[in-house]
Amino acid sequence: MILNLFENPIFFIFAVIALVVAITVHEASHAKMADYLGDPTPRLQGRVTLNPLSHLDLVGSLFILLVGFGWGKPVEFDPYNLRNKKKDSVLISLAGPMSNFLIAVLSSLILYSLFFLNLNMPVISSFLAILIQLNLMLGVFNLVPIHPLDGFKIVEGLLSNEQALEWRKLERFGFIFLLLFIFPIGNSSIFQNVLSPLIAFIYRFLIP
């Protein structure tokens, strides 16, 4: 991604802003949902905020700049503070990806409005298109059931107690599975073969 700074500096700036927005809203939504459901942990840690500095991870941010892939600071919550431990844990985990999809849809509505009103605003349109794409990527990627992604916790919350115990045993292999999922084996990665076509398919509907 850092190469775009020299090849297309406007795209680079738009992409960085869009990623900061996507990650900030994603993590803040986790925190807000946990707070709403009765766990004060995120609020005590200062995570119920839209201040990007509270949610950006230094190493994850560097990875975003260097390779176009990174992460935010995970939101911690204590399931024992929740009224319904399993159901509420699923809702908290879903809140992040759903917030990204919401941003993508709202940005799409604005983009379609500009299109139908025949308003020629290329700078705004370009930024909205990047915002849609990156939020789709972050939302879909986080639904993959690999630890530490949100999808892992979502699946765990949908299993019986016995199945959840077995599922949690996979947690220690999460980093290995994630590397196998992201990095190319041969000419392409599992991410490119499975998720990229899905993201591109949804993206086509959201861009006029």
Q: Give catalytic residue positions.
A: 27
In 10 A of CB 103, how many CB atoms? 22
**Where in the chain does DSSP place strands (E)?**
none
Sequence-separated (6 or more) residues with CB below 8 Å from residue 61: 70
Helix 9-36 × helix 122-142 angle, to 10°? 50
Rounded Cα–Cα distance for residues 62 and 64 (Å)? 5
DSSP helix/strand/coil, 160: coil
